[in-house]
């Protein structure tokens, strides 16, 4: 078999593999987004600046919030935030370079949880849903929202 046929076959195999991986990412994302309580949520673990933001999908559960990275093949959530012990310390509009990184109309929320400090970027209606979810926890859970 000539060398150029090996190259064509190899290139075809790479293209087919890329298409299969892309299809898996799309199927995973649609499966997560169709769950009850799913919403768009961008997360950063860094203290400030435009670096570190990752787009994804948040999914509410009774006692925790799961966050799935958009461009991933993992079926498990990247971040799990329990409802207990979550404190929202403030909200603001994206500043500086964040305005170019985040989607238009997003609000940035500073959040402290037992897992660490996070910044969440979400739409105002999604923020209302997050605050309602936090405030509707059963009594004695120790939820704090300082806005």
- Residue 121 CA to residue 67 CA, distance in Å, equals 12
Average pLDDT over residues 95-103: 85
Band (18; pLDDT cuts 50, 70, 90): very high
26-79 pLDDT, tens digit per residue, is 998 888 888 888 999 999 987 766 678 999 999 999 889 999 999 888 889 999
Write down the pLDDT at residue 62.
Answer: 87
Domain boundaries along the sequence of the chain: 35-145
How far is Cα of residue 112 from the mean position of the Cα atoms in its chain?
Answer: 16
Give the residue among 86, 37, 42, 43 at the shortest CA–CA distance from 62: 37
- Residue 49 CA to residue 32 CA, distance in Å, equals 28
Write down the pLDDT at residue 147.
Answer: 52
CATH topology of domain 35-145: PH-domain like (2.30.29)
């Amino acid at each position: 078999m000539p060398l150029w046929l090996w190259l064509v076959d190899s290139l075809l195999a790479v293209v087919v593999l890329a298409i299969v991986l892309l299809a898996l990412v799309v199927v995973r994302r649609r499966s997560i987004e169709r769950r009850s309580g799913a919403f768009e949520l961008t997360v950063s673990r860094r203290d400030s600046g435009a670096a570190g933001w990752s787009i994804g999908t948040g999914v509410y559960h009774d006692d925790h919030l799961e966050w799935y990275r958009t461009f991933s093949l993992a079926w498990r959530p990247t971040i799990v935030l329990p409802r207990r012990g979550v404190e929202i310390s403030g909200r603001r509009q994206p500043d500086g370079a964040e305005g170019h990184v985040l989607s238009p109309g997003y609000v940035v929320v500073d959040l402290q949880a037992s897992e660490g400090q996070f910044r969440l970027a979400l739409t105002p209606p999604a923020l209302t849903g997050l605050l309602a979810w936090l405030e509707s926890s059963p009594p004695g859970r120790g939820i704090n929202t300082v806005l």
